[in-house]
Amino acid sequence: MAELRYNPLLRDWTMVASKRQHRPHMPKNFCPFCPGSGKVPENYTVHKYDNDFPALSPEPPQPDDVATELYQVREAYGKCEVILYSPEHTTSLPQLPINHIEALIALWTERFETLGRDPKNEYVMIFENRGEEVGVTMPHPHGQIYAYPYVPLKLRTELESCTAHHEQTGRCLICDMNEQEQQAESRIIMENEHFICYLPFFTDYPFGVFIVSKSHKTALPDFNAEEKRSLAQILKHTTGAMDCLFDEPFPYMMCLHQRPVDGKNYEDVYHFHIEFYTPLRDKGKIKYNASSETGAWAPCNPTAVEDTAPQLREAYHKFLKKEGLSV
């Protein structure tokens, strides 16, 4: 079964992909993403791989005959792709050279543009899950891309907030957030010429940083080569700082928030940024989302970001020294 089922309470769609339950457990001595597996090129830097067990497909099966006037169903149209960061099985994003991450950003950009040209796709989400704490079973460095035939609820809510702010003030909400964070200074972790990384005033994760473009751009294709190199640098440094927090690979969920591809104009109201959702609140301690967070969507951060920002800044300085760079 693969279909979309409508949730009338939230006015959103649920992807049903029961065949994903049957994904095989890979033998410890075999990785399909490594050269020699027969599934990927023998030589590659970064590589797009179509997901073997997609929740969304360009040729979806017909939904089951279970719809009613209230409970709608539709085809699970879209695309699910795996983006391989490197042929090296044991490397990770912060360990890659800047020019290698530039190649990754170039592939992200190409896939965003290609998937965005399909008129049935409305939102393209580029993301990475890292660490067993967030359910990763394939350690080879990789991210994913989902092209949805609708704009998911969280993104839709964010867009509505940005639109309302622009209508009220004539300004971009995320530009205003950048200004507020730069004025406060205490929550900023790092910045370079084109991007800024900070723990937002409101984040519900102790180390839930945002990477935000300083200029008002809405998606990866808007950036020039210099800006993309700055993005590669701050991605490397941000994830490297996380790894230096507790001197071990740091788990996270990383999501690129960009304009929808539904044909509407978001130029004035939306702003490119990357959100990190980080499940650790301290070394070996998980920040769980329990009943209030899950049942009411009432987030609770167990720490003030003004306390955790200095920890992450110190880890950033530690990472720079490790890389032989000046603070």
- Give dist(CA 147, CA 12) in Å, integer: 16
pLDDT of 149 reads 98
Amino acid (1-letter code) at residue 211 = I
Q: What share of the chain is helix, strand, coil (3-state, %, to 5)?
A: 30, 20, 45
Please write the tens of the pLDDT for every residue from 150-165: 999 999 999 999 999 9
Residue labelled with tokens 């071990």: 248
DSSP 169: H
pLDDT of 28 reads 73
Terminal-to-terminal C-alpha distance of the chain: 53
- Give dist(CA 73, CA 148) in Å, integer: 15
> How distant, in Å, are the alpha carbons of 54, 161, 205, 287, 301 from that of 293?
28, 20, 12, 11, 10
pLDDT of 20 reads 52
Does the active-site annotation cover 89?
no
Q: Which of 47, 142, 194, 273 is catalytic?
A: 142
pLDDT of 22 reads 52
Amino acid (1-letter code) at residue 200 = P
pLDDT of 95 reads 97
Q: What is the mean pLDDT, run by run of 10 residues, along the chain of 327 residues?
A: 94 86 65 95 97 95 94 97 97 97 98 98 98 92 98 98 98 98 97 98 97 98 98 98 97 98 97 97 92 95 96 97 87
pLDDT of 1 reads 72
Please write the tens of the pLDDT for every residue from 88-145: 999 999 999 999 999 999 999 999 999 999 999 999 999 999 999 998 988 999 999 9
Architecture category of domain 2-20+31-322 in CATH = 2-Layer Sandwich (3.30)
pLDDT of 84 reads 98
- Give dist(CA 101, CA 2) in Å, integer: 34
Domain boundaries, the chain: 2-20+31-322
> How distant, in Å, are the alpha carbons of 158, 218, 249, 258 from that of 271?
11, 5, 30, 7
- Give dist(CA 29, CA 89) in Å, integer: 11
Residue pair 191/213 in contact by the 8 Å Cβ criterion: no
The predicted model scores a pTM of: 0.96
Q: How many residues in the chain?
A: 327
